[in-house]
Chains A and B, each alone.
Chain A
Amino acid sequence: MFYNSLFENSLKILPIFLFLLFVAPVILVLSSLFYGYSENWFHLYNYVLSEYIINSIFLIIGVSFFVVLIGVLSSWLVTYYDFTGKSFFEWALILPLAVPPYILAYTFTEIFDTYGSANILLNNIFLLEDKKVFFPNVRNIYGAIAVFSFTLYPYVYLVSRMAFINQSISIIEAGRVLGLSRVGAFFKLSIPLIRPAIFAGLALVIMETLSDFGAVEHFAIATFTTGIFRTWFGMYDLQTAMQLASLLLIFVTVFLVIERISRKKASFVSRNSLYKKYDIIKLKGYNNFFAMLFCFTPIFMGFILPITELLNWTINYKLDFFNIDFLESSFNSLLLAIIAALLCTMISFLVNFSARFQGNKFLLSLSSALMLGYAVPGLILAIGITQLLTFLDNYIEFFKFNFILTGSLIGLIIAYIIKSYALSNSTIEASFQRVSSSLDDVSKTLNISGIKLMYKIHFPLVKTGLLTSILLVGSEVIKELPATLILRPFNFETLAVSAYNYASEERMYEAAAPSIAIVIVGLLPIVILSRIIKNSRPGEELWKKKLV
C-alpha cells in the first residue's frame, strides 16, 4: 500500500521534474543574451553575423524547394500511379534517411571533386588523356543544398505519403465532377489539403538543416552552427558562442511557431469521409519512364551513390575494417545507444502511463511540451547542458561530494534523452491510445491499480511500442554528431565522432568503416517505418479480404 502510493506520487512529480530538466539547458543558453557582450561578439556582429544569416536563409530556401519537389511529387506518384518498380520505390524512397547529411557530404566531395571517383571513372571510360573535370565543385552552398535535399526529403515524402494515403477520395471525386482534370485536382485539392502535412515535414527539414554541423563544416560554409563551434573552440569564448546559439534558437523557434500557427489555422481534416479504394492509374511509355526516373534519382543520389562510394573505399583501399579503434567506437556507440534508448523509453512509458492513470490534463500538456526538445539543435543543447552540469558541479563541490558531472557520460545521456524524447513519446503514446480505457476501469474493479496496473496490464500491451521506441532512439543516438562531439568524455570516440574526425583530417577512406556502420544502424527505423506506412490506410486490410 505504502509503495503503491509512493509510486503514484512519484508519477505525478516525474513529468514536472523532466520538464525542468529539459528547459534548464535552453534557459541557461538564452540567459546569455542578458550578460555583457565581448569584443568577439562585436567582431562577429560587424563582419560575419550577416553572412551566417544570409547563408542559413539561402540554405533553407534551397533545401525547402527541393525537398518539397522531390518529397511531394514522389509520394504522389507512388500513391496514385502504377509504374515499373513502384512497389520498390514505395519503401526505397525512405532509404536516404539512413544516411546522415555529414556522411553524404563526405562521400559527395570524394565522388565529385576534381580527382574524385566520378571524374576518374568518366575519364577512364572515355579514355581521355587530359584529365577532364565533368562535375562542378560541390564544396559550396549549392553542394550543401544538394546534400540536405537528398538526405532530408524523406521527411516530406513520409508525411505527404501518409496524407495522400489517408486523403478522402470522395473530395477529389467531387472536384472532378465539378470540372477539374486529374492534374487540376492534384494542384487545387490534393496539395492544399495535405498542406499542413507538408509544412510539418518541412519544419523538420528546416530544423535539421539549421542544426546540422557536420555537413556545413565539411563544406566550409559559414552558418550559425559552424560559427558557434568556431567561437567556442577557436576563440575559446563560450559566452559569445552562447549568444550566437541564442540567436539560432530564436531562428528555430520562429519556424516552429510559424509551422504550429499554419497547422492550427488549417483544420483540413475531412470528417465523415467513408473509406474508398482509390483508382491507381497504370503509366505507360514515356510517362512510365519519367515516373521511374523521378523516383530513382533521389534514391540513387541519397543512398546508392554514397553506399557505393563507402564500399569502394573499403574494398579498394584494403582497409583494416575491424581494427581496434573501430571496435572501440562501435562499442561506445552501442553502449550509449542502449543506455539512452532504455532510459528514454522508460521515461516516455512512465510519463504516458502517468498522464493516462491520473487523467491529468496538465500532465498531458507537459508531456507534449517535452517533445519540443527535438527542435533544439544538438549544439545548443550541448552548450546548455555543459552550463547546467558546471552549475551542478559547483553545488556538488559545495557539499563535498567527490565526483564531477562535467565531461562524464551523464551530460551526453541527458542530451540524447532530450533530443529523442519526441520520437519515443510519439511511438509509445500511439501504443497507449490503442489500449481501451475500459481495460483500466475493469482492472480497477479487480483491485489492480498503480504499479500492478502498469506492470500487469499496460506493459504487456504496449510492448511492441516500447521495442520500436528503443530501436528508433538507439539509431538516432548513433547518428547524432554535434552534441556527442562536445559532450563526450575526453578521448571517448563514437562512430559519428570517428567519422567526423577522419573526415576533418581528410582521411576519408578511414571514415568508411564508421560511416557504413552508422548507415546500417540507420536502416533499422526505416524497416519499421515502411511497415507502419504499409498498414496505415484505414480499411486496407478489409479491402485485401474483400470485406468492403
Chain B
Amino acid sequence: MEKKISLSLSNIKHSYGGSDFILNDINLDVSEGEIVAILGSSGCGKSTLLRLITGLEKLNYGAIEIYGKTVANKDFSTPPNHRNVGLVLQEKVLFPHLSVLENVKFGIKGKKSFRTKKAIDLLNLFRVDQYVNSYPNNISGGEQQRVAIARAIAPDPQILLMDEPFASLDEDLKKDLRHETKKILNNNNITCILVTHDIEDANSMADRIIKLKDGKIDN
C-alpha cells in the first residue's frame, strides 16, 4: 500500500530582506513515518528550511503542505501553534522556570491526569523519568536533550523537525540517543526531518538522505 505524503514542499525560494536566495527552488515530498536527513554545511539554508516548515519564518515563494493542507504560501501562513509540528534544536531550549515534567506536559492537551501520565511515560521511554521534579539547569546536557525530544513528541505532532539535535553531545551519548530516538520514531510512525552536518547522524537515523548545497537540493 502506498504511504501518505505527510509533508510536501513545492518550489520553495527564500531570501532575507531581498538579498540572495538562501533557499532556491526546493521540492520535496516526505512520506508518513519516513525519516529524512537533510545534510549540508553551515549556512547552506537547512535551518531556514526548518523554520519555514514550523512557520517561525514567513515564506517568500512556493508552498508548504502538511497532509495535503496548505500551511504556507507567499500570501498566507498558518501560525506555528496551528501547524502541529514538533521542534528540537541543538541549543537547550527547555523552559528554565518549569520542572522536567512540566516541560514535557506543556504541549499535551487534555485532562491533568492524562497529561501527567503521558509525560511520565515519555520520560520513562527516554530514561529520564528520575528527573521529573528536577529543573533543566540541574540536569546534564544529554538529559536535557532527551527531555527536549520527549517534549517535542508529547503533543503527537504530525511531523517532528530536528535541527542538529545531537551536535552538542559527546560521541557515546550521541550513539545511544540516535538509536533510542529512531526506535521511538519508528514505533510511533512519526515523520521526521533531521537537519544535520554530521554524516553519522544522517546514516544512523535516516531512511533517506538529501544533500543541500548553496540553497539547492544536490542530486
Q: Chain A: residues with CB nearer than 8 A to chain B?
A: 168, 170-171, 173-182, 184, 189, 192-193, 195, 266-274
Q: Is the CB of A178 within 8 A of B107?
A: yes
Of the candidates B86, B95, B137, which one forms a contact with A171 in the assembled complex, judged by CB atoms under 8 Å apart? B95
* Interface size, B (range): 20 to 34
Question: Would you mind naming 27 contact pairs between A and B with Cβ atoms under 8 Å apart?
Answer: A171-B93, A173-B54, A173-B56, A174-B87, A174-B95, A177-B54, A177-B81, A177-B83, A178-B81, A178-B151, A179-B107, A180-B81, A181-B79, A184-B81, A193-B95, A193-B97, A266-B97, A267-B96, A267-B137, A268-B96, A268-B97, A269-B137, A271-B92, A272-B92, A273-B91, A273-B92, A273-B93
- The complex places the Cα of A292 from the Cα of B99 at a distance, in Å, of 38
Q: Specify which chain B residues have a CB less than 8 angstroms from the CB of A273 in the assembled complex.
A: 91-93
**In the assembled complex, B217 has its CB within 8 A of some CB on chain A:** no
**A227 to B: closest C-beta gap in Å:** 40
Q: In the complex, which residue of chain A has the Cβ closest to the Cβ of B58? A: A279
Q: Specify which chain B residues have a CB less than 8 angstroms from the CB of A269 in the assembled complex.
A: 96, 137
Contact of A178 with B91 at beta-carbon distance under 8 Å, contacts A173-B56, A269-B137, A270-B96 already known: no
Q: Chain B: residues with CB nearer than 8 A to chain A?
A: 54-56, 79-81, 83, 85-87, 89, 91-93, 95-97, 106-107, 109, 135, 137, 151-152, 155, 168
9 closest A-B pairs by CB: A178-B107, A176-B80, A177-B87, A170-B93, A174-B93, A179-B81, A272-B92, A192-B97, A171-B93
By secondary structure, the B interface counts as loop
Counting residue pairs across A and B whose Cβ atoms lie within 8 Å, the total is 74
Q: Is the CB of A179 within 8 A of B155?
A: yes
Q: Is the CB of B95 within 8 A of A175?
A: yes
User: Which of B92, B95, B155, B168 counts the most A-chain CB atoms under 10 A from its CB?
Assistant: B95
Of the candidates A168, A181, A192, A267, which one forms a contact with B93 in the assembled complex, judged by CB atoms under 8 Å apart? A168
Q: In the complex, which residue of chain B has the Cβ closest to the Cβ of A184? A: B81
Q: Is the CB of B106 within 8 A of A178?
A: yes
- The complex places the Cα of A170 from the Cα of B91 at a distance, in Å, of 8
Q: Is the CB of A176 within 8 A of B81?
A: yes
Q: Specify which chain A residues have a CB less than 8 angstroms from the CB of B89 in the assembled complex.
A: 170, 174
**B164 to A: closest C-beta gap in Å:** 11
Q: Is the CB of A177 within 8 A of B56?
A: yes
- The complex places the Cα of A274 from the Cα of B89 at a distance, in Å, of 11
- The complex places the Cα of A193 from the Cα of B97 at a distance, in Å, of 6
Q: Is the CB of A177 within 8 A of B80?
A: yes
Besides A267-B96, A271-B92, 6 more A-B contacts (Cβ < 8 Å) are A177-B81, A179-B81, A179-B107, A179-B155, A193-B96, A267-B137
Contact of A181 with B81 at beta-carbon distance under 8 Å, contacts A192-B97, A267-B137 already known: yes
- The complex places the Cα of A175 from the Cα of B98 at a distance, in Å, of 12
Q: In the complex, which residue of chain B has the Cβ closest to the Cβ of A178? A: B107
- The complex places the Cα of A268 from the Cα of B97 at a distance, in Å, of 6
Q: Is the CB of A177 within 8 A of B79?
A: no
- The complex places the Cα of A267 from the Cα of B136 at a distance, in Å, of 10
**B202 to A: closest C-beta gap in Å:** 22
